[in-house]
Amino acid sequence: MKLFIFVIFNIVSINTYAYVDLSLSYTLSKTRVEGTKTDLNPEPGEANTTTEGYHLNWAWFIWEYTALELNYSSSNQRLLDTREVATSDSAITIKQVDSTVITQVSGAGIRQAFAGRKSRIIPTLAIGYAKYTTSGTSKYTLDASGTEAILEVEQDKEVSSSSYASFSLRFSFTQLMGLTLSAKTVMPDFDTSLAGNNVTYSAGFSWMF
């Protein structure tokens, strides 16, 4: 590791193109779906989904168009569903579901830019290794023949070695500051067939220094 750091610093010290591109983004989305109202069910309830997350990306351009990249993202998705559902024999009614899924991704890879740092628009492509972690809890409020009970299920924390790929566009406001739009996919266990299952679109500010 010491040798690796020594080599990197020596490369940067003789390279006039060395600079850092730092980007931060935050996302918040809310979705509300109402249940179907009927004469037998005048208060059908509703399902509310709230997703909150942030993304940090740090790229060290050791050559004019090529950078070493580190990134981290975290998202928290909560579903609160009050639409009542009965079992087939109507013995048990699920009155409410409150579930949370936490996803964390930390990655390291190579980023390739297709325009110089002084360009007004800079498209980039990045690929690399990622650690994909998921966890969460689900709480069910049940009604069994007039008796209310709460069942809480905790999902095991799952960690998988993965790969990631991302594409971004940086629109420069000034020489130092810009707006970055990006799309990133994470492929758990390096399975490219899952590329469409974990896609994140983000927008945020970025700085070059």
Q: With bands split at pLDDT 50, 70 and 90, how would you rate the model's confidence at 175?
A: confident
Taking 3-state DSSP, the helix, strand and coil percentages for the chain, each rounded to the nearest 5, stand at 10, 70, 20
Residue among 130, 122, 125, 99 at smallest CA distance from 198: 130
More confident residue, 38 or 130: 130
What's the mean pLDDT in 4-21? 60
Structural contact between residues 68 and 59, judged by C-beta atoms closer than 8 angstroms: yes
The model's pLDDT over 73-89, given as tens digits with 9 standing for 90+, comes to: 999 999 999 988 887 77
Structural contact between residues 61 and 22, judged by C-beta atoms closer than 8 angstroms: no
Is 12 inside any structural domain? no
Q: For residue 154, what is the domain's CATH number?
A: 2.40.160.20
The model's pLDDT over 138-152, given as tens digits with 9 standing for 90+, comes to: 999 998 877 888 999
Number of domains in the chain: 1
The model's pLDDT over 83-134, given as tens digits with 9 standing for 90+, comes to: 888 877 778 888 999 999 999 999 999 999 999 999 999 999 999 999 999 9
Is 175 inside any structural domain? yes
Residue among 65, 56, 60, 58 at smallest CA distance from 5: 60
Give the pTM: 0.81
Which percentage of the chain shows pLDDT scores above 90?
A: 61
Q: Which residue's entry shows tokens 């990306």?
A: 57
Is 165 inside any structural domain? yes
76 lies in which domain range? 18-208
Amino acid at residue number 184: K
DSSP string, 150-168: EEEEEEEEEEEEEEEEEEE
Q: What is the b/e burial string over 121-144, where b = at least 16 CB atoms within 10 angstroms of the residue's CB?
A: ebebebebebebbbebeeebbebe
The whole-chain average pLDDT of the chain stands at 88
pLDDT of 6 > 80? The answer is: no
Q: Cβ of 6: how many Cβ atoms within 10 Å? A: 10
**CB contact set of 80 (below 8 Å; sequence gap of 6+):** 47, 48, 49, 96, 97, 98
Is 148 inside any structural domain? yes
**CB contact set of 64 (below 8 Å; sequence gap of 6+):** 17, 116, 117
Is 109 inside any structural domain? yes
Which percentage of the chain shows pLDDT scores above 70?
A: 90
pLDDT of res. 4 = 46
Is 7 inside any structural domain? no
Is 121 inside any structural domain? yes
Structural contact between residues 133 and 104, judged by C-beta atoms closer than 8 angstroms: yes
